[in-house]
Structure 1
Amino acid sequence: MNRLKPMNPPACTPQDIDHAAQRLQGIAHQTPVFTSRCVDERTGSQVFFKAENLQRTGSFKFRGAYHALSRLSEPQRAAGVVTYSSGNHGQAIALAGQLLHIPTTIVMPTDAPQVKQAAVRSYGAAIVLYDRAQENRETIAQQLHETQGATLIPPFNHPDVIAGQGTVARELIEAVGSLDLLLVCCGGGGLLSGCAIATKHTLPHCRVIGVEPAAGDDGVRSFHSKTLQTVANPDTIADGARTPSLGDLTFPIILSHVDDMVSVTDAQLLDTLTYLWTRLKLVIEPTGVLGAAALLQGVVRAPGQRVGVILSGGNVDLATLLGVVNRGEWGHLADEVVRD
């Protein structure tokens, strides 16, 4: 466990998020917001789903990746970029590099979904595979940074990445107006940090709650203990949230701007995933429904309130996920879909 000192100056400000929005204009998709009468009736809330599963590369990660790469100097661009990622950040860096003509290398676990590995390669990036049980991805990426001279842009613990991710909440609020509650998935905390900064700047009264998988609840434990906690290779279907810990930039932001942190089980994720596939007709990955699961499963209740929910990604490994679904590993919400 590590105790973190307060940041000074802040890693990311509302003005940084505004600047990121300007850089992303015309590059990133302004993703739609969906509503559902069935969801509203079930929760007693007015719910607004920000569909980042329809973002370029299939997740919010493109925002932070493109923003970070666009701010590199010409010498840095020529030397290339390296990162580590289970998939979505890797895809985002790869596409951003393709658009900006910057060579990219992605360190990925051997068990990363094949759909994500294929997408990274399709964008022209090189992949370095590692065994997450035996090797450390940060160490491998750092070695590549030192030997190749490539700029290391981590998935979440980077000021420009955080600012780019904050544009998700900024767009949502611009589209729907005031919110009482915002639910955001959390792995390393980049999306949660950026969205919390953007939200509290515009809507100080709005509660912001981060949601993690129960098997990887290091962020929940860190938030409540006020001490950085870690988890080793959490076994969860939410592969985008298998990070070992929050970062030394994201953790202090979360402590300062987030109101609460909660977790949901994999069974609750599958239950919610099936329900939203049926109701919203959207392809969403398990990590992408963390926030929705907290609301639909009653972990967080907000009757009579206006609730924003970030659907963070849609890069589904269908072969794996459908196998789980076919085995009947989901709960009551899926059954109610049939009865409704």
Structure 2
Amino acid sequence: MAEILGPSLEVEPIPFFDQILHGETYTFIIKFNSTGNGIEQSEVVTGQPGLVYTGNYLVSLTFSWRGKGSYDFGDATTGYTYNLDNIELNRSLTFPESGYTVNLRFNHTFDRDSFQFGMKPYEDIEIVNTVSIYYETRNSSSGIIVKGPRIGSFSTEYYLIDDIQVDYLKGKYQDMQSEIVNLDKVDSTQTFQKSRYYKLLEQMNNTLNDGDYLEAKEIYLDYDEDSRAELISDLANEANNSLHRIEELKDLRAEVANLEIKLDVCELDYENLESRYNALSNAYQREQAELEALRRNLTTAITAVFLASVLFFFLGRRSIAITKNALRGES
């Protein structure tokens, strides 16, 4: 019996981010090595006496389209999957010699979009590619070729992306942008950080620019299901906090108004005190001027008395001298 080693599947062009683009033609290259020998032609299939081996093998490439989505009810989420279509491509080949590497190419154009499958743009279309290798058998009575025992099989999964889905996601990005851009009018606080939502919007934009539409859809669904509600809740909490701050400001304004009234009273008292001070200062200056005048007058009087005393002293001595001289003359 033969065995298959290292079956693999390569796709050209490469489906980046596991995405198959609508309208594109892809080449699926199946590679594997065979070991051992094939089965002789006309050998009867064990357990199925009506079937005989043809000596060849069949390579089957099956495309299975499946619709996938989910819906919420309450706090729970339920997913659903249903089959959309199935296409099988087969190739009959002579069994290769042991150690020979087989490269088998299948071409397929994905010409149906999500609308033609009856899918909504927010739902996924999964394409399961299944590669199976069988012994080829023939019905000994009718001669019809049928699949015999399977030698090997494996599957890969991709997702169909079309213009409808891309336009839908770009529209949802604009919806996110129109909602989050309103945060420009709101300041971040200790309880509300708007940078988180700007980062989410930036991630959505980057994934769209990179062409990773599956990731962009996940980002939007997370925003739509969780982040938008959190944004509304955060804004509501911030609004309540703002109302509390407004009430506090009103109280502060009342205190400021009361202080302003007290300030006005103090200013009036100050003006009265200033007027009294000015009056007292003027009176003091007048008293000082009068005292200074008295001091000058007193000084002048003292000087005059002193000079008069000196004059009288000298006049007295002169008078005494004259008297003495007169007395001497008489004698």
TM-score, with structure 2 as normaliser: 0.20
Larger proportion of strand: 2
Higher relative contact order (CA 8 A, sep 6+): 1
Larger Rg: 2
